[in-house]
Structure 1
Amino acid sequence: MNFDRSGADALMEITSRPELVFVRGQGSWLEDHEGKRYLDFIQGWAVNCLGHCPEPVVKALQQQAATLLNPSPAFYNEPSMNLARRITSASCFDRVFFANSGAEANEGAIKLARKWGQLKRNGAYKIITMDHSFHGRTLATMSASGKPGWDRIFAPQVDGFPKADLNDLDSVRALVDDQTVAIMLEPVQGEGGVIPATRDFMQGLRALADEHGLLLIVDEVQTGYGRTGKLFAYELSGVEPDIMTLGKGIGAGVPLAALCAREAVSVFAHGDQGGTYNGNPLMTAAGIAVFDTLTAPGFLDSVQARAQQLSEGLWDLSAKWGMGGERGEGLLRALLLGRDEGPAIVDAARNWAPEGMLLNAPRPNLLRFMPALNVTEQDMDTMLARLDEVIAKVRS
């Protein structure tokens, strides 16, 4: 099968894509239009938490598609209520608003915090976020993000997002004033280079927020739903946030996200928040299948086992090749290369024959690993062995 350049030219140009088309996937493997297979350790940027075409999700979609697709968010539907109850029962939150993407959930979190500030803090609206953070691609979430240069791409930016340094509590404290309403962060900065917030920092933020009457918001779009070995990453620090956002893995490949909040913070008035497809039965039915799979006995234990295997394997590679070690939480990890060869390794791995491998380099000097949470021990060993071969080729 030839690559259809005319079809590609009909798509809006937003990123550089290789000349291949993926046509099917199963588990940790993808197949392109020429029949070549690829071991996938990107998984849609941590979206496909159960791998490609997981049976529970496929079954849930098939059954729900034949029952009810979208009655409108102006009415209740059973899958959305059932998924919301599962999330609140497993977390410290009381209310859930379902959205279509992590950026939309984060936009909702910003709106909710500002509405709470209007009602509870004399109109306070500033949300302290972290340098090098990533919260999405809407105007407000780009402004909230600390990605270099994003404050100029679509200027003027949305006001009210002073930037602190991750794991530097004093830098956060210095930004608090009478217009501050919340502190917002990712428990692990994914796009920023897989940098975890320390336990002390998370606990310090909770104490600082309590001291000044502020909200603590955790963006768990990438870390939520088992990615760190806990159902939610905030559990690693023993803190309870006021607002949490979920996305990516919550739907295991379908467009589903969530804004979660405590009862006292759930201050939206009717009409403040909505969306045509929000909480539709088709997506939330898939979400139930994902949640039930992840919370089945032993599942998170297996995530932790594979995380240990990945961490140890990356440390071995680092020692062999004189690199800078590895870091991360659970199955969100980075290999610190010590030199700017990430893009070359990504290209070489993808072009490897007879089977390719999909890796990600969010920064030139590191690789990020986001495998399926149910990746097998064998596939993990295969990835580590092949990565060793790719590094050898690139460095030769």
Structure 2
Amino acid sequence: MSSQVMPTYARLPVVFERGEGPWLWSTDGTRYFDAISGIAVCNLGHAHPAVAAAICDQAGKLVHTSNLYGIALQEQLAAELCRLGGMDNAFFCNSGAEANEAALKLARRHGHGRGIAHPKVVVMENSFHGRTLFTLSATGNTKVQESFEPLVDSFIRVPYGNAEAVAAIDDASVVAVLVEPIQGEGGVRVPPAEFLPALRQLCDQRGWLLMLDEVQTGMARTGAWFGFQHAGIQPDVMTLAKALGNGVPIGACLARGAAADVLTAGRHGSTFGGNPLACRAALSVIETLQRQNLIARAAFLGQRLLNGFRSALADHPQVLDIRGRGLLIGIELDRPCAELTQRALAAGYLINVTAERTIRLLPPLILTDEEVQHLIEGVARLVNDFTAA
């Protein structure tokens, strides 16, 4: 059947019509276990009653006015996020790419304020920050950059997890470091425990901004509100999106200290960013995470999954590593395994493969113990069948 939708995705042959918790039902009535939560978006699962009620109530009151006027729910959401993350203010937009775009613009303007004509940002190999031209240029993946050159020439790239490589940079034009606390698209790469503290120290010594891309790791995914909290540090800039609205598009760029004074009236904006509907959904997400103690639950379930997979796949010669933090899990095989997404679909599971050979699992935080076991058994069976073929 022909489609008028641009073919920017190699979509799997299924269409969903409803969901509940970690489950999705296709148009033919088949049930699937969503182990990627819409790519780390639906942390509360699908059709969460509290979020659904908040959206319906707000839609009946006010959806949009514009940022030419005050938005009370936006003020409330900014205050909550700053309280949870130790930040000073927030800019709202509609996606992770836009949030990272705001952070990069902030860094560039910060550099100009210091008299640097061509400000540069240190970024990491195998990173992913978005598909706008600026964020695509920051991304460390030549495959997604191909055919969009020339890219923005503002970045110095170093190996992820290597603080010594950052320390070795000798360039007076550097103004910031942009890094993911855990690389999701890069293959669920967890850096050494000393990496983020070392970056914080370097940024303090050299007057750089430490900017953390928490688009995938934020909002309790890793068993803390934000991934940086595991390292006991504080960023100057932090970006959020994905799970912030549990499916309602919303992104945020939060800043602290001197970075909080950079973006002033007329210097950045967003027509839809932080509208009443999106902010009401995000406030409902935060309230639900707190009320149901899902931050601690994510840490507990994540350890159960890691232990379960390590036991089920113990001594498996084709499994190189099983790693992660909270409910961000990677199972790395010794071979490309993209076809596993199709095999999983046929078996009733939605999974994802990143960096060619790492199965990425991002299940919702509301899983029951039985659903955790269902996921362990199902994915282990897929891996065993695939590697035996």
Shared fold, TM over 0.5: yes
1:298 positional shift: 2.8
**Cα drift, residue 305 of structure 1:** 1.2
* Aligned residue in 2 for 1:301: 296
For structure 2, which runs of at least 5 residues remain unmatched after alignment? none
The offset of 1:151, in angstroms, is 4.3
Q: Is 2:309 the counterpart of 1:314?
A: yes
Deviates more, 1:294-303 or 1:135-144: 294-303
Residue 64 (structure 1) aligned to one of 44, 58, 64: 58
For the residues of structure 2 that align with 1:13 and 1:360, how far apart are their CA atoms? Answer: 19
- Counterpart CA distance in 1 for 2:280 and 2:135 is 28
* Aligned match of 1:129: 123
Distance in 2 separating the partners of 1:276 and 1:372: 30
Alignment match, 1:279: 274
Partner Cα separation in structure 1 for residue 15 and residue 321 of structure 2: 34
Report the Cα offset of residue 153 of structure 1: 2.4
Q: CA deviation at 1:297?
A: 6.0
Separation of aligned partners in 2, 1:300 and 1:78: 27
- TM-score, structure 1 normalization: 0.94
Structure 1 counterpart of 2:237: 243
Shift of 1:318: 2.7
**What is the match of residue 372 of structure 2?**
380
Deviates more, 1:369-378 or 1:101-110: 369-378
Distance in 2 separating the partners of 1:251 and 1:176 = 40
Matched ranges for 1:40-79 at <5 A: 40-79=34-73
Please report how far the alpha carbon of residue 101 of structure 1 lies from its aligned counterpart in structure 2 after TM superposition.
Answer: 0.1
1:182–1:215 Cα contact (<8 Å) kept: yes
Q: Alpha-carbon deviations, 1:83-112, whole Å to 9, x = none?
A: 111011112210001110000000000001
User: Among residues 332, 337, 340, which one is paired with 2:333 in the alignment?
Assistant: 337
Shift of 1:150: 4.1
Q: Please report the TM-score for the alignment, with normalisation by the length of structure 2.
A: 0.96
Q: Deviations over 1:117-151 (max 9, x none)?
A: 11135345100000000000000000001012444
Deviations 1:235-280 (A, max 9, x none): 1111111000001011111101100001421211311111110110
Deviation at 1:393, TM superposition (A): 2.9
- Matched AA of 1:140: F
CA contact (8 A) 1:314 1:325 kept: no
The structure 2 residue matched to 1:153, chosen from 143, 147, 165, is 147
CA contact (8 A) 2:299 2:325 kept: no
User: Is contact 2:323-2:329 (8 Å) kept?
Assistant: yes
Q: Could you tell me whether the CA contact under 8 Å between 1:335 and 1:367 is conserved in 2?
A: yes
Whole-angstrom CA distance in 2 between matches of 1:162 and 1:325: 29
Cα distance change, pair 335–234 in 1 and its aligned pair in 2 (3 A): same
Residues in 1 aligned to 2:32 and 2:285: alpha-carbon distance in whole angstroms: 24
- Structure 1 spans left out of the alignment, 5+ residues: none
Q: Paired residues, what number?
A: 386
State the alpha-carbon separation in 2 of the partners of residues 370 and 253 from structure 1.
14
Give the match for residue 101 of structure 2. Answer: 107
The answer to whether the 8 A contact 1:318-1:325 is kept is: no
